[in-house]
Amino acid sequence: MIQLPSHRCAELDTDLTPENTSNHAPRRRVKSIRSRVLSVLFLTGAIGIIVSFTLATQLTRISQRTDLKQTSQTIATAVLQLVQNHASQQAIDDTTDAAKGYYVAVYTNGKKTFSTPETSKLGGQVTSTTTSVNGIYKVLVVAPHADPTPVSAELTAISAVVIIGVLIGAFWATSIIAREIGNSVEATTKVVSRIESGDLSARIESALPPEFDRLASAFDRMAKTLEEGDEEQRRFLSDLAHEIATPIGAVSGLAIAIADHIIDDSDEIEEASSLISSETKRIRSLLDDLRSLNQLEFLETVSREDFSAVELTRSLHGRFINSARENSIQIEIDTEEAQMHQDRRLIEMVLNNFMTNAIRYSNENSTINITGKNQSDDFYRVTVADQGIGIKEEELTKIFERLYRVDEARDRERGGSGLGLAIARRASLNVGGHIEVESTYQQGSSFSLIFPKSIQDGDR
């Protein structure tokens, strides 16, 4: 059975209510995305326009200052030539009048001998000074303030076109995004609703655009896992019902026969009572295994203790030596020493299952070998190898399924529940390990538990 933590179930219940699976909620989310994209694009366009205006203004001002500088220098050179040539005052006045707005001053031996009227329009930042070769004459020219740069009609029009283009493009792009995401969310919601209603075969597949391939693949894998888990659960429940029904039917039939005196011979009654006791033990064993498996699946913590590998295999040998002798089977041990800090109870649960199966399926006068080897500095391997009936290759992938039996008739006869290896696999996972199996049909099997020598919190 696939279990979900309670808080996860609550989240699923909240997300998949009819109110939340309607089209309104996804659409609201999509509109929110559209608003965000529009805001970002509009802000980007506004920043771009401001920057372009600023750059254009600065470039124009730089150009104006360059022109003022060149004009000032030209005026200063022209006036200096007139002064050096002792031109008339009228000629100098005519030249300075032509340079309207510029302030011109002439110095002779450091004394101002001529200047134009100063005005408030003078900039003071752009000046030109020219001095004669002999240093007698010096001309100073101060340019006027640069006129504020008006925004041209062309630049205004271009900016307006840019803004409109950005807005149109943004609206068009977000409309496409909204439509695609909205359709994708709607398609996904329909699939989720089908799964919620019990149709675990529902898949997204190609319902989403290529950009959502990873999401669709992950969702479909999840749905496939749920479907396989549901099928496994149904099969397990069916097999479990059959497993319980068989001994209950036998017990019920024999009990009724005894009660109705259909069986009244003392030997027959004794035989029937023995069968009732045997079948009752089978039911009790099955229920105990189910309880163990359920506890292991919900086990959150492991108990840790220190022990040695030699001690582990020797105790395993001691527990099963009498049972092996009753079946004319020998047990041999070959163990490398290693110190463990592990959950010994769970490890022994796995190894007990290996030994039980090895004895159950071994032939008389055969040998079971228990070997313990250091797999690496951090991992240890314990192997139980028998010389029994073996397992067919096509059955190796099924032996860990619940209630699966390799030899159904023989296993029923000897009382196996078919849950032992499922319990062993779950226990091996709980100690951070795994199980490896090698088998040759009619020659024997080898089951190995590989596990960390020391397990810490978070290792599982």
Check pLDDT > 90 for residue 60. no
The reported pLDDT for the residue numbered 273 is 84
Average pLDDT (166-170) is 74
The reported pLDDT for the residue numbered 172 is 78
Q: Please, where are the H alpha helices in 262-367?
A: 266-297, 309-326, 344-361
pLDDT tens digits, 123-137: 666 677 888 777 888
Check pLDDT > 80 for residue 370. yes
Nearest to 368 by CA among 327, 408, 338, 397: 327
Q: What share of the chain is helix, strand, coil (3-state, %, to 5)?
A: 60, 15, 25
The reported pLDDT for the residue numbered 282 is 72
164 φ, ψ to 5°? Answer: -65, -40
Domains with residue ranges and CATH for the chain: 230-297 (1.10.287.130), 305-452 (3.30.565.10)
Check pLDDT > 50 for residue 10. no
Token look-up 């203004």 returns: 57
Nearest to 449 by CA among 299, 290, 313: 313
Rank 67-71, 130-134, 158-162, 259-263 by mean pLDDT and report only the highest: 67-71
Structure token pair of residue 201: 């075969």
3-state secondary structure of 328: coil
Q: Residues 203, 205, 210, 214: what is their CA dihedral angle, to the nearest 10 degrees? A: 60
The angle subtended at Cα 426 by Cα 235 and Cα 342, nearest 5°, is: 175
pLDDT tens digits, 305-360: 999 999 999 999 999 999 999 989 999 999 999 999 999 988 998 999 899 899 98
* Alpha-carbon gap, residue 355 to 358, rounded angstroms: 5
Check pLDDT > 80 for residue 368. yes
Q: Are 418 and 400 in contact (CB under 8 A)?
A: no
| pLDDT band, residue 447 (cuts 50/70/90) | very high
Average pLDDT, the chain: 77
